[in-house]
Amino acid sequence: MSSDSIINAEIDFARKQLEKVVQLHDYDFNHPDVIKISQKLDRLILKMMTKQVCFKYN
């Protein structure tokens, strides 16, 4: 499995996790659990985007 595939799988998992946690906390986007998972998802997306930009310019 390539590193891109691994990151994509992690992003998909984090998205699903975020959906569940948001629903669990009645769509309170300021709940600490929601923020924590959202930030994790942000980092994963940034990691993927950074890899794509580096690949494009190398």
- Specify the pLDDT at position 58: 63
1-58 pLDDT, tens digit each = 788 899 999 999 999 999 999 999 999 999 999 999 999 999 999 999 998 887 777 6
Residue 18: strand, helix, or coil: helix
Q: What are residue 16's phi and psi, to 5 degrees?
A: -65, -40
Phi, psi for residue 14 in degrees, rounded to 5: -65, -40
Which CATH code is given to the segment(s) 3-57?
A: 4.10.280
Please report the pLDDT score of residue 16 as a whole number. Answer: 99
Q: What is the pLDDT of residue 4?
A: 86
Question: Would you say 18 and 2 are in contact if contact means Cβ atoms under 8 Å apart?
Answer: no
Using CA atoms of 34, 12, 9, 37 in order, give the dihedral in degrees to the nearest 10. Answer: -10
For the chain, the structural domain boundaries read 3-57
